[in-house]
Each structure stands twice: as C-alpha cells, then as structure tokens.
Amino acid sequence: MIKFVSIKHISMKKLLSLSTLCLLAGIAFAQNNAPAEVKTGPVMTLSSDVVDYGEIMQNADPVRKVKFTNTGTEPLIIKNAQGSCGCTVPLWPKEPIMPGESSEIEIHYATDRIGQIMKTVTITTNETGVNHVLQVKGNVKPKPVDETVPTKQATLLTPVKKQNSNQ
C-alpha cells in the first residue's frame, strides 16, 4: 500500500506539471497571435520633443532644427506651428511629407533676450486629434563688455579739460 501511495503522489506531480505547462503555452500562444494594431493615416515621429539651446551668449546663433519622419501610411501636412510667444518663431515645410520621408522644423529664438529660455512650440498636423508640443529651453548669458579702448579719466597729474559751454 505504501508503494501505491508514492506512485499516486508521483503521478499527481506529473499531472500538475503538465497542466501548468499547458496553461503557460496557451498564454504565450494567445499573446503571439494577437493582431497587431496598424496605424493608418499620417503619423509625425519627432527625433526629439525638446529643443535645447544649452548655455549660449547673447546674440548667438538663434536657429535650432528638429527632425521628424512621417511613419504613417498617408502624406503628412503641417497645418501650423505656433511659438508660445513672439520670441520663438518656427518655420516648417509647407509641402506634404510622404510616408517614410523625413524633414525638419527650424526654431528661431530671439537670443538678444538675456536669461532662461522656457518656451513651447505647438505643431498642428493633419493627424487625427494630435498636436505635438516641443519644449524649447536653454539659458542666454550676457555678452561680455569689450573694454579694449580705455576711457579718459582724470588723475591728479592729468585733469580732464572741461568743454566750454559758452561757445
């Protein structure tokens, strides 16, 4: 009787292992055969949604470029691109971008403004219900003062001559 119980115990282990294996195989098979969702229409895929000017000097190069690709199945048309203020001006291609093709958007920032850059550019395309927002960031440092020509200053030995205002 003891041998019969141990054989029955071994059979239960095999049955449990086999059931677990079948369950896992069924789950794996169900996941692999799920139909992939195919996006149709135009799809704008940006290389980055951040335009980082970094630390730049006042009046430095104001242009940065953002590349994008139409990863959709129909031509992509950029309807509008709008900066969050007048100091951030985007320029975009006006012609349709065909599926698989790439292009770029130029961002012009007014680098004569000193201080932190924290702006956005909102891009409106012919994609259904999608607007893309680029974050524009950086810091504009003041240009160093050029003091190559000394200014005329009075000293004890050489006083500055006053101009006669009576003339």
DSSP string, 77-134: -EEEEEESSTTEEEE---SPBPTT-EEEEEEEE-TTS-EEEEEEEEEEESSTT-EEEE
H-helix or E-strand spanning residue 146: none
What pLDDT score does 69 carry?
A: 97
Encoded tokens for 55? 């630390």
Provide the pLDDT for residue 20: 65
Cα(115)–Cα(38) distance, rounded to whole angstroms? 45
pLDDT of residue 116: 96
Tokens 């104001």, residue located? 62
Predicted local confidence at residue 149, as pLDDT: 61
Domain-wise residue ranges, the chain: 44-141
Class of domain 44-141: mainly beta
> Reduced to 3 DSSP states, what percent helix, strand and coil does the chain have, rounded to the nearest 5?
20, 35, 45
Q: What is the pLDDT at residue 144?
A: 84
Below-70 pLDDT ranges, the chain: 1-39, 147-167
